[in-house]
Structure 1
Amino acid sequence: MDDTTALIVTASFAGIVVLAVLARRLLLRSNFPNLPGPPAGSLLTGNVHRMRSRHSIKYRKHVTDTHGPLFKLAGPYGAEWLYIYDPKALYSITIKDQDVWGKHGALLTMIMLGPGLLSTEHHQHRKQRKMLTPVFSAAYLRNITSVFYETTHKLRDDEAMQRLGEVKDVMSILLRANMTASEKDRLAEEELIAQVSTFILAGMDTTSNATSRVLHILASKTDAQTKLPDEILEAQAGTEVSYDTLMELPFLDAVCRETLRVYAPVTTISRYAVKDTVLGLSAPIRGTDGTLISEVPVPKGTAVLCDLGACNTNAALWGPDAREWKPELFQQERWLAPLPREVEEARVPGVYSNLMTVHGGGRSCIGFKYAQLELKVVLAVLLANFRFELSDKDIVWNSAGVMYPTVGPVSKKPEMPLKVSVFRERI
């Protein structure tokens, strides 16, 4: 086939695709004719890609403010998607009817990572969680807290390396548990291998970028950065802070919760309906014809984009300043004062602090307590020894599978330069 023929074939195929998309839009009746939504955009890509693009943060805020907690999007090739941050609808997807909703893109994740927790579904997923849950228990975390401190101090000597080797790591516990499990509960070798890739991908970027976000915020909030070391140093009293004490430090906990509320490392997840279902709403929304809608029938195959960050900063629940980082609200920590009644009554299905940051139900982040400990240990060590200030570099946070910082909006290199000075000499 010569170049001219190849070009003709390619153009013809593209034309067929465009015609098929046009035909779909013109001939097929909309499944959601009365739902609001932003302009459809491109015939081929719709507007879903704008909600997931690297610089989508401002656009997402605009469309969620404009169209409310549930609206329709134009997906690729004329498909209709739903965009959701309504708590009751999220409860249905996450807990009540979780078997009705499949993980969108699970096949691609399976190809990349193998049959681990991020890619498996239904019975296989539940079987894996049952095996892995003890690895992330509070008892295990208490035993490895010292390892987190040693790692944070960059393993300054061989003794620390030796102690690290003596502590049972996650995979060794998993392997031992698998060997003693019954035949029906035992995981296949490929499932065990897949968990390694899953833990690296799911655990490393989320926690490190959450830590970076806290430090970036504190660099611009001198009052909070002054208060935190005082609390940490008082708790240290010349020794490393124990697991239980660290978990109970009130202002450190408030700073971590507020950061994970306003700046969730993972902002959206996608699902699809494996059969016809209905999504109820916490409060009615107004359709394009002016009528009120209290539930939305969802046909089989419909894809939905769940905005975890928008649920966390929903002004109807958290108040008009919901998008502002305020661990200290009205002269007292937001997270020590009683939560707003609207938050308590919303039944947000997240497993952590009425937030969707680590998701909820059977697909919630199994290692969130592990990540929480890691975050607090790193902050306790760094803030007790160093001060952080903004540099002259413009830090921009980018949307992706996990939010990440760059210098300026053009660079794609993850980095966050800050000025660092010694807060106190190491004892």
Structure 2
Amino acid sequence: MKFGSARFRRAVVDRMPVEKVQALKNVADTMDETAVHIYQKKKVALANGTLESEIAAGQDIISMLLKQNEVVPPEEQMTEEEIIAHVNLLVFGGNDTTSSSLGQTFYLLAQHPDVQDRLREEVREAHRLYGRDLDYDQLNSLTFLDAVCRESLRLWSPAQLSERVACVDYNLPLYHPVKSKDGKTMISNIHVPKGTHIYLSLGSANRDKQTWGEDADKFNPYRWLEPLPSSVSESKIPGVYSNMMTFLGGPRACLGFKFSLAEMKIVLSLLVSRFRFEPGSEDIEWTLSGILRPYVRGKDGAVDWARGATLPMKVTVLE
């Protein structure tokens, strides 16, 4: 719900004496400044004809967005404000979610040293065969690295909730029928009226014991090294990635999920081969604030919000 003009809303936020509101405003300002800087840089490169000499040779999504915006009819062209908004979304969507996934993966590896040791052994063997700079195909050939990424993303999806709005009246079939309130009948579908707001629990779908088995709440990357049970393969979960809802599905699925996976594998392979990760001395609480973020628990057991999102760990240099 919006009230007043953008200038009015900004004035209200500027004068709001709430520390968290001001901190959020500063984050939003930093993101917007970054998006404007990226846009201006790409715009100048496009005007000068130097896009092809930059990283990705002008084939990155922002460069392609600018180039296509110049060739479409004027009535279909996006405004500068709309393009910057797209850049903002891409920067946010491709940064915080991946960093959250990596943090959670290192946290899980620290808690499961046997898994970490096996992963390190696989990566080091690949380094002996191919050198330290593994290419895309070589990274994807590391089956245990892939299993660790899949299991981490299944267990802890960075975004746990997603909202959708029904565009038409629809009878939604349930894969697992549920009992009615009186417990006398089983419900196999739900009528969803047009305009209904639906909140999808991605984490619940990924941890459903009827689908994934009794160990659905446990970190077990070994499950991906053998054929998945029929309850998973036959579940028809519409996710774009490994029968999971982590990256959603359909036309509004995460468009950069393969890039995110490549980032995760590169960072994990480089760091796990050189360092050992162990739990720190402080308790960590993963909380949902848009995406999952780690916070330290104080001695009284309460989350120390003042420290912000942080993940203290013991890191030992191996080489």
> Does TM, scored on the shorter chain, surpass 0.5?
yes
Supply the distance in 2 between the matched residues of 1:213 and 1:416 (Cα, whole angstroms): 9
The counterpart of 1:317, out of the listed 193, 203, 211, is 211
Call closer, same or farther: CA 1:171–1:275 in 2, change over 3 Å: closer
Supply the distance in 2 between the matched residues of 1:322 and 1:164 (Cα, whole angstroms): 45
* Unmatched runs of 5 consecutive residues or more in structure 2: 1-30, 33-52
Supply the distance in 1 between the matched residues of 2:196 and 2:61 (Cα, whole angstroms): 37
* Unmatched runs of 5 consecutive residues or more in structure 1: 1-111, 114-162, 329-333
Aligned partner letter, 1:215: F
The counterpart of 2:294, out of the listed 387, 396, 405, is 405
Aligned partner letter, 1:342: S
The answer to whether structure 1 residue 263 and structure 2 residue 263 are counterparts is: no
Task: Give the number of aligned pairs.
Answer: 261
Question: Any idea what SS the aligned residue of 1:351 has?
Answer: coil
Q: Residue by residue, what CA displacement relative to the aligned partner does 1:254-292 show, whole Å, maximum 9, x if unpaired?
A: 000000001111111122324422111113211012111
Supply the distance in 1 between the matched residues of 2:198 and 2:291 (Cα, whole angstroms): 19
The answer to whether structure 1 residue 215 and structure 2 residue 106 are counterparts is: yes
Aligned partner letter, 2:215: D
Question: Any idea what SS the aligned residue of 2:291 has?
Answer: coil
Q: Corresponding residue for 2:234?
A: 345
The counterpart of 1:300, out of the listed 181, 191, 194, is 194
Tell me, yes or no, if the aligned pair for 2:285 and 2:303 is still in contact at 8 Å: no
Q: Corresponding residue for 2:6?
A: none
Question: Any idea what SS the aligned residue of 2:225 has?
Answer: coil
Q: Which structure ranks higher in relative contact order (CA pairs < 8 Å, sequence separation ≥ 6)?
A: 1
Call closer, same or farther: CA 1:325–1:166 in 2, change over 3 Å: closer
Supply the distance in 1 between the matched residues of 2:218 and 2:264 (Cα, whole angstroms): 21
The counterpart of 1:225, out of the listed 98, 101, 116, is 116
Supply the distance in 2 between the matched residues of 1:192 and 1:414 (Cα, whole angstroms): 30
RMSD of equivalent CA atoms = 2.4
Q: Corresponding residue for 1:99?
A: none
Q: Structure 2 matches for 1:266-285, cutoff 5 A?
A: 266-285=159-178
Larger Cα Rg: Structure 1 or Structure 2? 1
Q: Corresponding residue for 2:268?
A: 379
Question: Any idea what SS the aligned residue of 1:201 has?
Answer: helix
Question: Any idea what SS the aligned residue of 2:286 has?
Answer: strand
Question: Any idea what SS the aligned residue of 2:191 has?
Answer: strand
Supply the distance in 1 between the matched residues of 2:310 and 2:92 (Cα, whole angstroms): 18
Question: Any idea what SS the aligned residue of 2:224 has?
Answer: coil
Q: Corresponding residue for 1:243?
A: 136
Question: Any idea what SS the aligned residue of 1:356 has?
Answer: coil
Per-residue deviation, 1:312 = 0.6
Question: Any idea what SS the aligned residue of 1:297 has?
Answer: strand
Q: Corresponding residue for 2:22?
A: none
Question: Any idea what SS the aligned residue of 1:335 has?
Answer: helix
